Homo-oligomer: A and B are copies of this chain.
Amino acid sequence: VAVPTVGGDGSPVLALDIGGTKLAAGVVDSAGAVHSFHAAPSEPERGPDDGLERLFELGRRATADAGLALGAVGIGCGGPLNTERGVLLAPLHLPGWRDVPVVQLAIEAFGRPAALENDATAAAAGEHRFGAGAGTRHMVYLTLSTGVGGGVIVDGRLYRGAMGNGGELGHVTVDCNGRPCRGCGRRGCLEAYASGTSIGERAVEALAETDEQSILGALDRPTAADVAAAARDGDPLAVGLWDETVAALACGLTSIVNLFEPELVVLGGGVTRVGEQLLGPVRAEVEAHAVRPAGSPLAIVQSALGDHVGIVGAAAIVYDRVASGLMLAHG
């Protein structure tokens, strides 16, 4: 049985975020305010039964703390998912979790209707509804994190695509002859250059291929933040890596902008924490090269939701589904 209205009356949402390193739960109201928040390590190797039991316990604590009557439960998780059936198919960041009916289990645990969405898509909904994209009608959200993902807002609503998975924004090609992409098996996807993982891997590869001295050579496993910091210090190898990151992101983002013609691009995820060191040159490149009518505005800004994007996004999908006339699963 599916009912379209429950949770859409503005009742607060219990938001659950199933990340690879962190489980999080919080109560978020229809204005985007976070009334409670609890998090714990994911430890996905303990399996889905154990993981969801701990997640739902965080949810019960968050609900008790908030002291509000819940309208619905929103769940964000990395894919692949079946959002229609509310099932985690085989999330890449949760090895061994297969065919987990998380929506049904959440309905049983909390006695409220529930909805599942890809976490990057959910973050897009959160930024659109409560963050940097509030009030826009055509928005692209791109997150540069362990992987690269995102979501698109079309005419004010989350774009879900034919099968409910929305866009795979990390898998737009930058260089068809480029680096192998672990995520999809093609070559030269945006994710293969601009994810935190890829930036770190490219640093290791660059160090192995050069005799040049570099600050990064002293680090065991340089991260994207290390590369950015060394580039700020003028380290030539790091500057080269950073310039390549900027070029790849600008190229992939230009393709995305050419295809969707948004008015706003919001960049989120750990890699974007450096702010203008990344956004400045990317903005200049995309503005110079995207195919747009003269005078057509395009803003490229940083995520406004920061660390709460996971649960605010998971809540936003409930509000977005209701606004879009979609059903919430009701058990």
Contacts and interface: CB of A to CB of B under 8 A. Distances in A.
A258 interface: yes
Given A175-B176, A252-B173, A161 B260 contact: yes
B172 A255 contact: yes
Interface string A48-80: 000000000000000000000000000000011
Nearest to A252: B173
A138 B162 contact: yes
A168 interface: yes
A185 B254 CA distance: 12
Given A168-B291, A260-B259, A137 B163 contact: no
From A247, A252, A289, residue with most partner B Cβ within 10 Å: A289
B186 A293 contact: no
A159 B154 contact: yes
A272 B294 CA distance: 32
A137 to B, nearest CB: 7
B82 A176 contact: no
Contact of A154 (B154, B169, B247): B154
A16 to B, nearest CB: 21
A122 to B, nearest CB: 16
Contacts of A247: 176
B163 A255 contact: no
B254 A173 contact: yes
A293 B99 CA distance: 13
Interface string A116-144: 00000000000000000000011000000
A172 B293 contact: no
A296 interface: yes
A177 B247 CA distance: 11
Contacts of A176: 174-175, 247-248, 251
Interface string A276-295: 00000000000001011110
Given A176-B247, A176-B248, A291-B183, A263 B162 contact: yes
A171 interface: yes
The 4 closest A-B pairs by CB, nearest first: A161-B261, A138-B162, A162-B263, A168-B258
A258 B175 contact: no
A171 to B, nearest CB: 4
B251 A173 contact: yes
A176 B165 CA distance: 27
Given A174-B173, A175-B175, A293 B163 contact: yes
